[in-house]
Structure 1
């Protein structure tokens, strides 16, 4: 028995189903593309991936690892063209692992107009990011400095004692906390 050729109605239906399926896949990929940045940020914050530091509540209780210290190096940068001086009060600090400590960074607006900036940060070696925990940091908010204004900005932090059990960090003797300040464009009103 000879088979009948498909009717134009059946071909149109299959083509429509294929079109709908492809459009759905395309929209799903577009949505995933937009969601990838916030999802990646959440992933990094939860795991310390890529040198992202952890955050803790100011009332966090941490057990000190008496007799275990680590050197913390502080690095500071400003985006080229940003009219700020920005530097740590002390370039290095030796801390007891598990003990809360504080570093001070100093920023000064060298221009004749207010400048608002925000800081990005990272930790190296990157595998130590999961154990470097910030309690308070100027990097969580925008900073506006008036012309010539100088401010002292604290960072409260600790190194989680769990770093001592991590085989990936067995040779880590120094952690570098690095900040870069970027200007924040203020909404410009049309004149």
Structure 2
């Protein structure tokens, strides 16, 4: 009878190669997890991520919702950021445009980018944006002011979502963060 089991050196090599492959796979997954999660949220509206729409809704319903607009600025950014109105009532499927005013109140030019989310989180998949200033880097000189708009509608499919049957209010929340090269500095520090 011949022994067909690998030698101790061969077993050690196989174990080392398996460990190396597992470590490389875990490292690759770690690098891919943030972009994959962002893609998942964008496609599904998970976590309150509004959806991007290519055109207006196909119909307008009689159901009316109150849309609230929240504007925030990171503590290390000398900007003032406000919506033209804190809330509006809209019919489901009706296209609306809201303008925000952004002002650099600091003494030097500053570059920043807005991130966003929708509350309740389940409404994210029904909040359809046609145009948005989010994830666009803006540089404002000291004292400079600009206006930016978001064009949106609430998807009529919300009427068929049992989780949203009792929803009367949706909040669109933006936060401006200092940015560089198309990334918020907070996001860059966490990578």
TM-score (norm 2): 0.89
SS at match of 2:62: coil
Q: 1:100: which partner in 2?
A: 95
Aligned length: 181
Structure 2 CA distance for aligned equivalents of residues 175 and 102 of structure 1? 15
Question: Once superposed, what is the RMSD of the aligned Cα atoms?
Answer: 1.8
Q: 2:63: which partner in 1?
A: 68
List gaps (5 residues or longer) in structure 2.
182-191
Q: 1:84: which partner in 2?
A: 79
Structure 1 CA distance for aligned equivalents of residues 39 and 163 of structure 2? 22
- 1:115-168 Cα offsets, whole Å, 9 max, x none, are 111011000000000000111111131111111111111100110000110011
Q: 2:49: which partner in 1?
A: 52
Q: 1:189: which partner in 2?
A: none
Larger Rg: 1
List gaps (5 residues or longer) in structure 1.
187-191
Structure 2 CA distance for aligned equivalents of residues 181 and 43 of structure 1? 23
Q: Is the 8 A contact 1:63 1:99 kept in 2?
A: no
Structure 2 CA distance for aligned equivalents of residues 156 and 107 of structure 1? 17
Q: CA deviation at 1:14?
A: 1.2
Structure 2 CA distance for aligned equivalents of residues 18 and 56 of structure 1? 50
Q: CA deviation at 1:5?
A: 8.9
- 1:64-86 Cα offsets, whole Å, 9 max, x none, are 33311111000011000311110
Q: Is the 8 A contact 1:97 1:159 kept in 2?
A: yes
Q: Is the 8 A contact 1:120 1:139 kept in 2?
A: yes
1:176 aligns with 2:171: yes
SS at match of 1:40: helix
